[in-house]
Structure 1
Amino acid sequence: MLQNDAEAIAAAHELAAAARINAANRDRQRALPWAEIEQFTRSGLGSISIPRAYGGPQVSFVTVAEVFRIISAADPALGQIPQNQFGILHLLQGSATEQQKKTLFQSVLDGWRIGNAGPERGTKNTLELKARITANGDRLTITGQKFYSTGALFAHWVAVKALDDQGRQIMAFVKRGTPGLRIVDDWSGFGQRTTASGTVLLDNVAVDAGQVVDNWRLALTPNIQGAVSQLIQAAIDAGIARGAIDDAIAFVREKSRPWIDANVERASDDLYVIADIGKLKLELHAAEALLRKAGQELDEINAAPIDEHSAARASIAVARAKVLTTEISLLASEKLFELAGSRATLAEFNLDRHWRNARVHTLHDPVRWKYHAVGTWHLNGTLPARHSWI
């Protein structure tokens, strides 16, 4: 197990170095990163946010964001796969029973992975659920169909959201291999291709009552659940941006030709290219600075009792970062081709994966609503909504 923040950062760099080598080929072939996920788990990175009271290292939110940023700069699909695990681990702190915390936290410390089976297609919005958990005597079963199930294919626990008989949302932890549980690798998005964010089918899946978490309770009190989830999403986008800029710089230095009117020998001496790289770097540093600032605010807020105002501050801090990380990931991955030139579009380099990944991942939640949340907070003092997307 990793013991502290410094060890977590070092492990993230080690994983990123290994993952970067074949990231372009995995994307091209839609080859799932099984070896890299196993390295992630063996390294202890999956348990870095578990509280010390339960045997974990409980690293700071600043470090959690930095770990995801480092990994995602190498391969953002690898960064996204465990994202839900971290959101769920934080959710358990506010909604699980003491025994559930002990059991589930220890399983992650032992190397178990948690995958997501929450969202559904064909509903009015992302919050609506059709999946149901039903009691038949002493037996609980879940039936439903999920999509965007990032991490489920790699998971030992599949965390399934459903409604109980009273219409309240629960989260049931179903072990991999349980009869009636089927995970389908049918994700066909043009970006984040190797996240396996496809279908989970549940047909009268038996559930242990002790593994059913009443996560509806989380909505009863102020919390930073949404901010924690969004912080990691922003870190993934920041990683995509850095990866795109690093590849743009390398390509310009090593492969690009200068434009004829520049009157220089190397593309890296073109004044306009130099200026644009400088602008991208400045915008990246601004986004990374706000990401770090958001992590610091979450650490500060989480260290004291959380009320509706501190919870709102957390959401707004992360929303600010999310705006800039979204915009720089899209800008950098598009600008790469303008600066690197026509040769950069060749399939052998697969540099378009940066834009595809940025475009798909930033659709997780529309940034226009982040602008709205920040604006109405400052203008009208309106508190953000209490859900996982702010």
Structure 2
Amino acid sequence: MSNTTQLLRFITAGSVDDGKSTLIGRLLHDSKSIFEDQLSAITKTSERRGGMGAVDLSLLTDGLQAEREQGITIDVAYRYFATPKRKFIIGDTPGHEQYTRNMVTAASTANLTVILIDARKGVLTQTRRHTFIASLVGVPHIVLAVNKMDMVNYSEETFDAICAEYRAFAAQLGVHEMTCIPMSALNGDMVVERGENLNWYQGSPLLELLENVVIDHDINTTDFRYPVQWVCRPQTQEYHDFRGYMGRIESGVIAAGDEITILPSGRTTKVKEIVTYDGNLQRACAPQSVTLTLTDEIDISRGDMFVKSVTMPQIAKEFEAMLCWLSESPLDLNRKYIIKHTTRVVKCVFVRLEYRVDVNTLEHHSSATLNMNDIARVAMKVQQPLVFDSYIKNRFTGSFIVIDEATNNTVAAGMII
């Protein structure tokens, strides 16, 4: 990485009243990331509600009026803050099952998920569901925040029992990178400061962990993948014979002179130049947006992908995927839909529904259709071949969205198996 501050995207998930909003409020407040006027506004609201002298920090995040009135989180609210070490984007995701799709969408771009548990209640059905979604969309790091430790007298035994139960469940899902932290968001213990009450816990407070978690490995650096977004042919006197291919490097590294293969055609050529607005580069890596020029004239258009022949992706018209249905209209197996995968847009049909996952128990059920928030394994067929990797290997080339031709609405998000 360059010396610019790294960005960490993380989401918080938990059931109602686990204290997610208070936790985020505490992070923003104790890391000095809120303005004086915001603090005075929430102080006034807290007093009006009869707060016992304590400021209700959860008011910092429950942005929508409806959420404040009902005391629940509906939409994903994004908050931005920074410390000298790192920049952060927090997605506060809803806990309710009927908002599963909101969590799937937010988690798909996150480096880390903070799953909150109320120390008095332990591991709940919702805890399992949130962990399943985080593992489904491949969030690399999971933090289990055992909140409200003040309500159980900061008991180490309670904390250890909850962690043991959670680790056993997470292991079934293949979650490897996880940390348990005891905390009291209300009193600020182990959120930004260590506090006085959890001296038996040897690990870092949450903010310190967020600042130091290593995310360089979260992007696939070995497999070069470059979906072409735009063919650039400026019609000016100076550049009349320039032809460049614009796009974002989704994974891997490229250098001038490297040999590449263009898919799906399979033609090979070499990279002549890596052009950017600030001048040419010798090498570039994900997630940089660049323009590549090639040594040979080849017929290339938007949706083609540049790769290195040593690490080839799959090219196929049929594949299986895990799908989260986002639309209020159920899936119709007799209809054609459109898939948008990287920069390629093609028509598709659903060949069959293998099974639907009960997100609360993880059991598999047979199903004739999918309704909003359902997650299922499906077999799909596309009109023209797609160039893809499995989602586990590459989050960018392994994911897609499904669009309804008639309404142009996004109806599903998928992860290729």
**Alignment TM-score, normalising by the size of structure 1:** 0.26
- Could you say which structure has the higher helix fraction? 1
**Alignment TM-score, normalising by the size of structure 2:** 0.24
- Could you say which structure has the higher strand fraction? 2
Which structure would you say has the larger RCO, counting Cα contacts within 8 Å and 6 or more residues apart?
Answer: 1
